[in-house]
Structure 1
């Protein structure tokens, strides 16, 4: 199996993973290759090549229905990334401890919604920039 860090180092593969995550969160039980091609604006051979790498790393599973293949995200292999990153986060927190701030439930919910919207907008912006000619 390929090193998970090598697999997720590629921007197109991260875009595919993000797309699969977003579609799963929206209730989709799989995403076809043609949907990925359309959403990301990359060629079908490129998407297929990256999906093969993601399959080999167990980051996606495929379900076949006739001639169509539907892909789903599998997050378990990303536990290795968490295991590697968490000690750095723990170290950063111990180096500069912050006082916890208790937010009212409504403010905590608003912060969560705004944070998710900002992350989604950033991803959409980055994806749109990649589609521009000359990029």
Structure 2
């Protein structure tokens, strides 16, 4: 199995994931390779190569319609990144994390799931830290 961190370490793959995430908020049924190429200004062979890596890591799903393929983001594999990252954020900010005010409409299912996962991970991390301090008597 490919290490998720190796997969998302590449900037082009992150750009593709961000594009697919933006497109998922529009409620579309996937984004074609042609649309990704046009949006990112990257060659078709390069996009196809990166989509293959993302597909093998289960970060994207593909829907075939004749000769065309439409890609959508799959956020569940990013939970491993979330699980690894949240303790660092808790250590850095604790209860003083800055508020981020981004006006958005209702979240699509994938983004809502990702937000729920992040929230649960943050709550879990806070509980672990609070329990550790309690055991230490501070």
Do both proteins adopt the same fold according to a TM-score greater than 0.5, normalized to the shorter chain? Answer: yes
Q: How far apart are residue 86 of structure 1 and its match?
A: 0.8
Q: Aligned pair in 2 of structure 1 residues 71, 113: CA closer, same or farther (>3 Å)?
A: same
Mapped to 1, the partners of 2:22 and 2:68 lie a distance apart of 20
Partner of 2:38: 38
> Partners in 2 of 1:60 and 1:98 — Cα distance?
34
Matched residue, 1:2: 2
- What TM-score do you get using the length of structure 2 for normalisation? 0.70
Give deviations 1:50-81, integer Å, cap 9, x for gaps: 00000000000001010000000000000000
Q: Distance in 1 between matches of 2:40 and 2:24?
A: 16
Equivalences for residues 1-135 of structure 1 within 5 A: 1-94=1-94, 97-98=95-96, 111-113=101-103
Deviations 1:77-130 (A, max 9, x none): 000000001111121234xx53998xxxxxx9xx3229xxxxxxxxxxxxxxxx
Q: Secondary structure at the match of 2:103?
A: helix
Q: C-alpha distance in 2, partners of 1:72/1:28?
A: 9
CA RMSD, aligned part only? 2.1
Number of positions where the alignment pairs a residue of Structure 1 with one of Structure 2: 104
Q: Give structure 2 stretches of 5+ with no counterpart.
A: 105-138
Q: 1:50 to 1:91 in 2, by over 3 A?
A: same
Structure 1 runs of 4+ aligned residues shifted over 3 Å read none
Distance 1:8 1:23 in 2: 19
